[in-house]
């Protein structure tokens, strides 16, 4: 394969990613006309989708999205208040992970709505944006108040041993990726003077994370979601990082993507749901970003070229069916677009 044309590829995928942003500032998970439910806005997806604009210095786009996210929390502040005073027992009592992109209403059908990492990731980025990038995300006293309540929310649900549906919105377990997101979020937001985070709230999560790793959960010893602990959260030790990378690459890497975990039934090509797991495209870009971060440019470049090989005219799909050139209808997937842009931009900077 010839050398990658970074500028052309970034321009193409940035245009695709921009097309997913709504007037409110929120990004859709996929295109507006998709029939899979991905025409909605997830907190987690918006977190990952805006990372591309951060690395490119498009702060107007980033701040518009986080202004909308703050409006979501303010709209549902009474629910947060209730969860602080009354420990949630049912999924619907938790902060939901997806919302209508225009009205900011929750979607009430069952969707694994209990996702603690969705709160953790937003706290994490607000802290980074405010203190590292010197962007004003907490623009009003209302914003400061509701973010302090999000900290109390994580404290009251006792996130460090709270079983949730995690990144993949499935079975409730204690997920390392969810605990790690909350630890990272609390560490980050604690750097803002107006936000108070009790020390034990972080130490409880760190202790739980150490006891879980290198596993993702009791049921899953390896999971694609664990890459988030290495980047962007950076909450793993050197030894944990090496073990997670080894496990994910050896057990989950496939030709056109990375499977989420062994036995994943989502878009599984086997009627029995055994093996033939779907291959997620953003896993390849995720590996590229991490290997660039760890200094292995050779492996990073190889993963980047793998992403280019599976690209389509419409952009990067959510996933490819096992051992197949067929991809699913969630194309483009905003999350995949963003991670690819980040990886391309970081490699471009290395080559300058």
Burial of 56 (0-12, 13-18, 19+ CB in 10 A): middle
Q: Other CB atoms closer than 10 Å to residue 237's CB: what's the count?
A: 10
Query: pLDDT band at residue 109, thresholds of 50, 70 and 90?
Result: confident
Model confidence at 112, in pLDDT bands (50, 70, 90)?
Answer: confident
The answer to the question of residue 24 being in a domain is: no
Residue 238 pLDDT greater than 60, yes or no: yes
Predicted local distance difference test score (pLDDT) of residue 2 = 59
For 287-301, how does the pLDDT look when each residue is reduced to its tens digit (9 = 90+)?
Answer: 999 999 999 999 999
Torsion of CA 259, 337, 125, 143, to 10 degrees: -120
Structural domain contains residue 238: no
In a domain, 312, yes or no: no
Residue 194 has pLDDT above 90, yes or no: yes
317 falls in which pLDDT band (50, 70, 90)? Answer: very high
Residue 125 has pLDDT above 70, yes or no: yes
Residue of 248, 253, 249 lying closest to 225 (CA atoms): 248
Domain total for the chain? 1
pLDDT single digits (tens) 156-173: 999 999 999 999 999 999
Residue 166's domain comprises 40-213
Residues 63-106 pLDDT 10s:
999 999 999 999 999 999 999 999 999 999 999 999 999 999 99
Does residue 272 lie in a domain region?
Answer: no
Q: Is the pLDDT of residue 42 over 60?
A: yes
Instruction: Render pLDDT for 10-37 as a digit per residue (tens, 0 to 9).
Output: 999 999 999 999 999 999 999 999 999 9
With respect to residue 130, please indicate whether it lies within any of the assigned structural domains.
yes
Report the predicted TM-score, pTM, of the whole model to 2 decimal places.
0.97
Q: Is residue 105 part of a domain?
A: yes
Residue 1 has pLDDT above 60, yes or no: no
**Residue 285 falls within a domain, yes or no?**
no
Does a structural domain hold residue 126? yes
What average pLDDT does the structure give for the chain?
A: 96
Determine the Cα–Cα distance for residues 288 and 304; give it in Å rounded to an integer. Answer: 6
The pLDDT, as a whole number, for residue 94 is 96
Contact 128, 137 (CB under 8 A): no
| pLDDT at 180 exceeding the cut of 90 | yes
Q: How far apart are CA 327 and CA 114, in angstroms?
A: 28
The β-bridge partners of 99 are 41, 106
């Amino acid at each position: 394969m010839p050398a990658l044309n970074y500028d052309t590829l970034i321009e193409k995928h940035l245009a695709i990613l921009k097309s997913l942003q709504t007037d409110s500032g929120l990004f859709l998970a996929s295109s507006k006309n998709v029939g899979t439910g991905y025409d909605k806005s997830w907190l987690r997806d918006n977190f990952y989708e805006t990372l591309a604009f951060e690395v490119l210095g498009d702060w107007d786009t980033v701040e518009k999205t986080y202004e909308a996210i703050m409006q979501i929390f303010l709209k549902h502040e009474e629910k947060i208040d209730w969860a602080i005073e009354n420990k949630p027992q049912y999924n619907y009592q938790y902060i939901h992970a997806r919302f209508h992109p225009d009205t900011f209403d929750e979607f009430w059908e069952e969707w694994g709505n209990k996702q603690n990492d969705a709160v953790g990731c937003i706290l994490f980025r607000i802290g980074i944006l405010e203190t590292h990038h010197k962007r004003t995300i907490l623009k009003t006293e209302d914003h400061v108040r509701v973010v302090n309540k999000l900290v109390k929310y994580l404290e009251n649900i006792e996130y460090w041993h709270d079983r949730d549906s995690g990144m993949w919105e499935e079975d409730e377990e204690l997920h390392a990726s969810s605990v790690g997101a909350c630890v990272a979020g609390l560490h980050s937001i604690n750097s803002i003077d107006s936000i108070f985070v009790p020390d034990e709230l972080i130490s409880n999560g760190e202790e739980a994370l150490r006891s879980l790793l290198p596993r993702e959960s009791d049921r899953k010893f390896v999971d694609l979601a664990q890459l988030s602990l290495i980047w962007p959260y950076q909450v793993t030790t050197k030894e944990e990082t090496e073990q997670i990378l080894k496990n994910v690459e050896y057990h989950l890497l496939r030709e056109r993507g990375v499977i989420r975990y062994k036995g994943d039934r989502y878009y599984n090509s086997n009627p029995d749901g055994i093996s033939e797991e779907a291959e997620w495209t953003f896993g390849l870009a995720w590996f590229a970003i991490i290997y660039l971060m760890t200094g292995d440019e050779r492996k990073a470049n190889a993963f980047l070229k793998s992403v280019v090989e599976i690209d389509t005219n419409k952009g990067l799909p959510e996933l490819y069916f096992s051992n197949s050139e067929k991809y699913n209808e969630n194309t483009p997937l905003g999350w995949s677009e963003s991670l690819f842009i980040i990886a391309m931009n970081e490699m471009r900077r290395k080559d300058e």
